[in-house]
Every structure is written in C-alpha cells, then in structure tokens.
Structure 1
C-alpha cells in the first residue's frame, strides 16, 4: 500500500541544533552547559533532540526538564546524562523516585525542604545525590527569598554525599535597552550576587546558575558556573529586538505544507469564515493544507508571512482570511505558484520569531503547539 503524501510536515535539522549548541559554548567558554529539553524538546521531539545533543561535540553533564514524567522519559533513554527536574517533587514518593532514578530535583519551596530532611536524615545517606536550590531574586514564581533559600542550602549541605547548585532565574532580561528591563534585571543580578557572597562565607566551593537563553546572549555577567540554554538551541531568540538569525542561530524546525487549491477571487469578494478579508483587486488565492488542528495559530492575520517555494524561487506572501482547523488561504499575487508547491510557515527561509511577532506570541509557543497530526522528518 502506498503511503499518503504528508499534508503538513515539520523538518527538524539536527545539524542546526548542534550548531546552536556549539554557539552556546562560544558564548560561555568556561561554564557548564545544561540544555533544556522540556515540553517534548520545545515541540521538536525529545528523544531525537536528546540523542543528538548527547552525540554532539559539545560536552555537558545533564539535561533539564520541567515535569517528573519528562525526567523519567529522558532518564530512560540511557544516554549517560543526569536529568534536572525544574518542578522538583511534591511528596516523599516523588522524592524517592528522583533519588532512585538519579534525577536532580530543584528545591523551590519550604515544604520540599521538610520532606527532604525528614527522609534523608535516615535514608539514602550513602547514595550520591544532587539538589538545585532556587532563590527567588525577583520573578516571584518558584524559589524562596534570600534568608530562606540560604537556610535551605545550609540544611541540605549537612547531608552526606550531597552536591548542591544555587540557582535563580531572570524574569525581564529580554530587552536590556528598555529602562524598565535594564533596571529590573540589575536588581536581580545584585540580589543574586549578595546571596552568593553570603553563602561564600561558609562554602568555598559553590556552584551557581543564573542565565538561560536571554542571559547567555546578552548578559555575560550572569553566566556563573552553569548556564541553561533553552529556546536558543532551537534557533529562536528570546530578545525582543533581535531574532534568531540576528544573534547567529540557525532554525531547527521548518514547518511546511502544500498548496491544494488555487482560486481566482474577484475584487470585493471575501474569504473564509466571518468574511473577514476582502480582496481589493482580482487576486489569485492559494489554499494551504494546514490549520489550527496542526498547531498553526488561529490568531494569524494578513500581517502573518508565509513563503511559497515556486519553480522560479521563493515567493514571500501572507495569510489572507481567517485560519480554519485544516486550511489557510494566502495571497499568491503575481507568482507562478502551482498546486502541490511547498509553503513554509516558519523555519528555514522564514524566521519563526518573525511569524511569532506577527501573531502576538513567541516562537516557544509556535514550536510547542505543533500537533501530532504533523509528520516529523529528521535531518542529521
């Protein structure tokens, strides 16, 4: 039986992934690197992403994920890398599971400290373990304030065979040219430095981690001992004024579909649901086999770009009309586009950051919302 031609597909360029990973090393030559592969590798397929990173020339010791289910999945790949769990554990059974599977949980709340101390004073004493102690330097999401986080660090340091990382997270480092972003981030940097200096009074050896992608790209003073690259690995920039290409990254995911119909629409006629788009002139309209059922954003408008790969070259155009579950319509202008031509929704030739900006979101969300109706192809 002949397999059907994929109507919509995502091409994942693992060479671009490893190029971006090496870019992190260029920016942080002396720091440990802990790649973030949460949310199914930012929608790219966690197993393939993890295996490719593990086989790359860039050295690292552990992955970072968000949920215990993700941590168990990555640990089960048998890649010889530890796994850091950002959410930490919620009860003793989850802590035991982390310890048994050599998962490194983040300690971000007082209840976790109580659970850990109650268990570990009598059990797992001979078991090597590592915790990441999160300090709330201003994001007010996870982490304890200075006095409590330092007390947590000191308590855990009393446990046998226990290594620790003191960490925090930048909340507003995506636009350092904006005074509010600059001032807020400088406050966070100062708070982290103060907490670190206090801990150094009792601990000569202190591993610290502060920077994720935004800090890696724009704030070398936040690199410290360990950096945590996330979206930049996948070719997107977290910075508001620069896209992935601007900061020297390569797109990893290219989402594509095909033209399945071409219609001649008269001036004054409308397109799609709600009759929300009116053609100003006689227009060739292409129907593309992708929609919000595939993860393409329903919020896309006539400002949202697409690229049609025609016989004579790439033709950049835009969405015309409302996004449906299975289809979008686009303006083909005076191009030589024909049925079955590839249409790039984002990726190589059309930066995901540009598309995200046009739909008032971020590339993270575009990547993570691609559904399982989309066929994945991996290039290595």
Structure 2
C-alpha cells in the first residue's frame, strides 16, 4: 500500500536490526549467533530482514514453516549467505518434502514418528533433533531420548540438538536450572555434533546456556526479552491523524461509552485499529488507563476503546498545530516503548509485531539512509 493511501505507516530500521544481531553475536562468542526470522521476520518482512541479517554476519537461520523457509531462501539468493542453513522449527511435513529439497531446508524433528518419516525420505538434507526439557510442547520426551540412544542415535544427517527454554525471561525461576540439567543429559546420550538451547532471553543466562548456537528472535527486532537485555527499536508504527475534534466534560468517547471526559478536551482520531494489529485491549476506560501515542515528541493517552479501524487520543496538552489532520502519531518506536504498549494490552511485543496488518505502508531504512 502506498503511503499516500495508508492509515498505518511502518518504518523498519534494517540498520538497527543488523546492529542488534551484531551486539548479540559479540556477547555470545565463541558460540554462533543464528537469527530467527519466522512469522515474516516478526512482521518486519522476511525478504528484507533476511538479507540484512546475512550482511551483518548471520549464517544460520530458523523459520517455523517450510513455506517461510522457501521465501527466505529466495531472499538469500543474492545475499552474503545464499547457502546458509535454514532450520524449520515446526519439523518435517512429508507432503511438502520437495520444498525441503529444492530449498535446502533442514527440519527440526520433534518425535519418533517424524524422525522415521524423515529417514524414509530419499534425497534428504540435514536435520536437527528437538528434545523436550520442560515445555511439554514439541520435542522427544526423556524416555524417547533414552530409547533413541540405545538404538544407536538418530542416524546420519542429524547434526544439531535443540530445546527451548520456558522461563528464561524470569532468571530466578527454578525450571531454568532443571531444563539446563535435562538438556545436558540428552546431549550426553545422543552425542550430536552441535547443541542449541538459548533463545533471546536465554542468551543472558550465561555461557552454560549458550552451547554451540544461540537462537535470538524478539531481541533482534527491538523487544525486551530479559532484564539485562539491550535492544534498539527496529519498527516504528505510526497512524495518520484524521480529525481533531472538541469534547466536553461528561461526554463519553468510543464504543461502550466506557471513558468519560473529565475536562474540556481536544481529541485526535487516528486511522488505526485492531484490524491493523493494534490490540483492542490497549484502549482506555474510566477504570484503567490505556497506552500512549506520541505526536511530535509529545505523549498523549488513548481515550476509550480501540475499534476496528480507529482510535482516539487526548491531545489537549499538545501545543496547537502539532496534532492536525494528515500528520502522524507514533504508536510505538523510539518514543513509545513497544513493551509498554504490549503491557497495556495484556500481552507481549511478539504479538504486536507479528500481528501488524498487511494494509500498512512499509518503508525500509538501511545503513546510510
């Protein structure tokens, strides 16, 4: 969508994305720093984000689905890493086997039946093995790992052992140490060449969690992952101001009449809503304040509910002329913390980023722009 016709504008800073990766890569050495680019690179666009990360130095990538892997391979063909390994976290889809072969996609195998299907596929590439250490999600159970070890291991081509941390964003949670212990047991039993446990938050748990390869996701895209994490904003979301109107004490704003004006107010109506991925729960009411927006350096609180295509903000305290039709209000970015917006909506930055609407105008900023 063109900027002229869009109500939502996304500015995606590829230099910040690359900088976030380089910062993490420096932190985890001698472990390798991969890049997780699932969900269209967390909403930033895999076709742009993949090559930017490759240019920064990323040489291993993770996606969720084989179709995402194929899109990434196309994007990497003219990048600094055209043949980089691409691991498919959701595993092996037998009906899509040709897609794996054509694009050199490596499945992350999560149960014995899947390992059998992959082993039976002729012309296969390499693969990873996922062990469950406490998430009760994907992965071989402890008993299945022991059985696999007794049978001689997963076989030729499986070169990476992975698991996923459940509570690394809570450093003191006891499950972290237990998952580390369970992973060490599986690693000793299966004796695969490489191992990977740490996600974005796990990177900051220390060297014991990093093993050979770390898999940052949200930390690359500007979201908070751990109390010690540092990450520059990558996405700035802005909504077009459609109208500025007056409101009087005692009047209500928006659906449900859930917020009552407590003063004579100026109200800016912005062209964004939950259809764009700006979550309904971020709105405001008489009982609880909502998220903030920023107009020309001035913060303004939301008024009332978020509707499908519109939100309202209280711009009474913003100097005249700054909040005007045709101008843009930042929803999150350098002035409004995406994690703060997510907390108001009762969610996390992951959901905000990955839910951004396709009807937004996207513009990319690269180093030197």
TM-score by length of 2: 0.89
SS at match of 2:4: coil
Distance 1:379 1:327 in 2: 27
Aligned pair partner of 1:298 in 276, 280, 284 = 280
Aligned pair partner of 2:334 in 341, 348, 364 = 348
Contact 2:198 2:210 (C-alpha < 8 Å) held by counterparts: yes
Distance 1:3 1:94 in 2: 37
Could you tell me which residue of structure 2 aligns to residue 186 of structure 1? Answer: 177
Contact 1:10 1:374 (C-alpha < 8 Å) held by counterparts: yes
Contact 1:35 1:230 (C-alpha < 8 Å) held by counterparts: yes
**1:130-279 mapped onto 2 (5 Å cutoff):** 130-149=126-145, 151-152=147-148, 155=152, 158-159=155-156, 162-177=157-172, 182-199=173-190, 203=191, 206-239=193-226, 242=227, 247-279=229-261
Distance 1:46 1:105 in 2: 19
Could you tell me which residue of structure 1 aligns to residue 42 of structure 2? Answer: 42
Structure 2 residue 27 is the aligned partner of structure 1 residue 27: yes
Contact 2:115 2:154 (C-alpha < 8 Å) held by counterparts: no
Contact 1:11 1:254 (C-alpha < 8 Å) held by counterparts: yes
Q: Which of 108-117 and 342-351 deviates more?
A: 108-117
Q: How many residues align?
A: 352
Distance 2:210 2:300 in 1: 40
Could you tell me which residue of structure 2 aligns to residue 333 of structure 1? Answer: 316
Offset at 1:104?
0.7
TM-superposition CA deviations, 1:68-126 (whole Å, max 9, x none) = 111111122323322100111132x434542343211011111112223334xxx43xx
Offset at 1:333?
2.6
TM-superposition CA deviations, 1:211-265 (whole Å, max 9, x none) = 01010133432100010010100011123xx4xxx73210000000122211111
**1:14-163 mapped onto 2 (5 Å cutoff):** 14-56=14-56, 58=57, 60-77=58-75, 78=77, 79-91=82-94, 93-119=95-121, 123-124=122-123, 129-149=125-145, 151-152=147-148, 155=152, 158-159=155-156, 162-163=157-158
Q: Which runs of 5+ in 1 are unaligned?
A: none
Q: Which of 32-41 and 301-310 deviates more?
A: 301-310
Distance 2:337 2:302 in 1: 16
Contact 2:254 2:304 (C-alpha < 8 Å) held by counterparts: yes
Distance 1:361 1:88 in 2: 27
Distance 1:237 1:338 in 2: 30
Contact 2:3 2:9 (C-alpha < 8 Å) held by counterparts: no
Contact 1:143 1:149 (C-alpha < 8 Å) held by counterparts: no
Q: Which runs of 5+ in 2 are unaligned?
A: none
Contact 2:65 2:88 (C-alpha < 8 Å) held by counterparts: yes
When the two chains are superposed, the root-mean-square deviation of aligned CA atoms in Å is 2.0
Offset at 1:209?
0.5
Task: Summarize the Cα distance change of 1:152–1:67 in structure 2 as closer, same or farther, 3 Å threshold.
Answer: farther
TM-superposition CA deviations, 1:260-316 (whole Å, max 9, x none) = 211111100101111111001111111111111211111112333333333xxx111
Task: Summarize the Cα distance change of 1:189–1:232 in structure 2 as closer, same or farther, 3 Å threshold.
Answer: same
Aligned pair partner of 1:322 in 301, 305, 312 = 305
Task: Summarize the Cα distance change of 1:256–1:164 in structure 2 as closer, same or farther, 3 Å threshold.
Answer: same
Offset at 1:320?
0.5
Distance 1:82 1:273 in 2: 49
Contact 1:133 1:152 (C-alpha < 8 Å) held by counterparts: no
